[in-house]
Amino acid sequence: MSRFHVFVENLKMVPGAFWNSFFRHGPPTTDRTRAETVFHNVFLHIHPARVHRWSLKPALSLGLGVMASASYIILALTGILLMLYYKPSTTLAYESIKDIHFVVPTGRFVRNLHRWGAHLMVITVILHMSRVFFTSSYKSSRQFNWVVGLLLLALTLMLSFTGYLLPWDQVAYWAITICANIAQSPREITDALNITHFFDPGGMAKTILIGGSEVGEDALIRFNMLHCIVLPLALSAVLCVHFWRIRKDGGLARPDDADQELGTPPEGEKPLFTQSPQKTYGLMAFVRGSSPRVGKGPENTLPAWPHLFYAELAIFMITIVITLAISLWMDAPLKELANPLVPENPAKAPWYFLGLQELVSYSAFMGGIGVPLVALLGLFLIPYLDREKTAEGRWFAAPGEKEVTLKSLFFGLTTVILLEAFAITCGWLRSWFPGIPTLIVTLINPGSVLTLLYALWSVHVLRKTGSMRLGAVAIFTCFLAGFLVLTIIAVQFRGPNWDFYWWPSLWPHH
């Protein structure tokens, strides 16, 4: 055979050889190649090679985590497209957003996707956290992944917050001005103690955040850099850790009797691990917890390819359909150009911060820093304080949990509504004692009182039931109820001067 002939033969084989070098395993038709599909691929190997049938139950996870990640992917892609035309400068930013909206082909649609995708991501992240909580999925080996999830929640909110300034319109400017001054609000304390001159963490935080004393060019550049580079990189990295930990923890949380309850898989759900495997997968040896054990017959796991990936793909498509539908139906808002001399009235932050803004209207420090920090600390402590071995991986599974959840929901809603109704109709400390020192208003205001009442309720439940899990359920349910009611009040019922109005049509006109 001539050398030329060999060359031609090799050339003919290039597509096949390239394909084989790329995948290095056969088509995913056997258990073995299906597993190889997953762990020979750097992107897929964040998943497990095999997934327990319990994890695939739609009613367990509701697909919320995947939906949040899917909206993050949509946001990353549309964000890159928007960066082509967005110009981070006080003189050009607003015009470039208008260009994107009115001139750039498909620009308005891409911006809509980005805006509504961000809302969807915040909603699904909060719902996902609630799902993990109410299915007791943060226990035993999964404690740290709950903390990683909290970090992701914080990063998601920071991404939304930094993105809010970029259009440089009136809402953006005044919402960020308010938030920058919240960062400065530790001065409420240092001023009251008369030590601001020596020790000014508030002023320093504000300057680091916006690079000056007022929101301007430097603030826009810093926020743009955080929004487009630092935070997405951080979130992507932490998200990988989050996924990887799920795999290392043996999939989603499931009760010990999951196998009995699931029973033998139906005929259609083939192929399963063979009854007497010729070879076991070495990587399973490192999986802790209720991992597949030797000598237990069918392990009730299915290959991730295709079962898990089909499920994920389906949720990804649902997410895309939702964002597409909203984006075709509604345009992302854009107010007038930012004017540093005339505040937007009312100047409302994005809805997920409005609950805090409602508290901020009573005390900047307590509402903007004190209560959120206490809430985050409480959420962080939950898996470390509640070490009870109650049924994981089931909704409301601890004894008496449903009852405590309903009672706490009732308590949480009543408390926040009564407290708000009282503060709105009767005013607060300063309305009765005009000369009262600021420090007292900072310490005693609806935000801190509400937090205290919720904490007391949780302690009460804890003492009555003697169960840490139920105590955690009490405070978490109250937290959700408070968040919900405060957000609704601030979104719907707050008008100019942050006064209470039953309906926006009752707002006074200038």
Least distance from C-beta 224 to another protein, angstroms?
Answer: 16
Tokens found for residue 183: 């960062």
Least distance from C-beta 400 to another protein, angstroms?
Answer: 40
Quickly list DSSP for 201-242: HHHHHHHHHHSSSSSSHHHHHHHHHIIIIIHHHHHHHHHHHH
Give me the residues that bind another protein (CB under 8 A), please: 174, 177-178, 180-182, 185, 187-188, 191-192, 204, 207-208, 211-214, 216-218, 340-343, 345-347, 360-365, 427, 430-431, 434, 438, 441-442, 445, 496-499
Nearer of residues 214 and 336 to another protein, judged by Cβ:
214
Nearer of residues 191 and 331 to another protein, judged by Cβ:
191
Question: What is the rounded CA–CA span in Å between residue 172 and residue 164?
Answer: 6
Least distance from C-beta 359 to another protein, angstroms?
Answer: 10
Least distance from C-beta 372 to another protein, angstroms?
Answer: 15
Least distance from C-beta 493 to another protein, angstroms?
Answer: 14
Tokens found for residue 130: 């609630």
Nearer of residues 90 and 290 to another protein, judged by Cβ:
90
Least distance from C-beta 440 to another protein, angstroms?
Answer: 11
Nearer of residues 4 and 198 to another protein, judged by Cβ:
198
Q: How far is CA 25 from the centre of its chain?
A: 37
Nearer of residues 132 and 490 to another protein, judged by Cβ:
490
Inter-residue contact 254 to 393 (CB < 8 Å): yes
Whole-angstrom Cα Rg for the chain: 27
Tokens found for residue 234: 């951080």
Count the neighbouring beta carbons within 10 Å of the beta carbon of residue 59: 6
Tokens found for residue 299: 């392990």
Least distance from C-beta 346 to another protein, angstroms?
Answer: 7
Q: How far is CA 351 from the centre of its chain?
A: 14
- Give residues with Cβ within 8 angstroms of 351, minimum separation 6: 119, 487, 491
Nearer of residues 184 and 465 to another protein, judged by Cβ:
184
Phi, psi of 212 (to 5 degrees): 175, -165
Least distance from C-beta 181 to another protein, angstroms?
Answer: 4
Question: What is the rounded CA–CA span in Å between residue 43 and residue 73?
Answer: 14
Nearer of residues 320 and 347 to another protein, judged by Cβ:
347
Least distance from C-beta 258 to another protein, angstroms?
Answer: 46
Count the neighbouring beta carbons within 10 Å of the beta carbon of residue 90: 18
Nearer of residues 154 and 439 to another protein, judged by Cβ:
439
Nearer of residues 212 and 289 to another protein, judged by Cβ:
212
Quickly list DSSP for 276-319: S-SS--GGGGG--SS---TTSS---EEEHHHHHHHHHHHHHHHH
Question: What is the rounded CA–CA span in Å between residue 246 and residue 248?
Answer: 6
Question: What is the rounded CA–CA span in Å between residue 374 and residue 255?
Answer: 31
Least distance from C-beta 449 to another protein, angstroms?
Answer: 14
Please state the three-class secondary structure of 246-270 as a single string: HHHCCCCCCCCCHHHHHCCCCCCCC
Nearer of residues 272 and 347 to another protein, judged by Cβ:
347
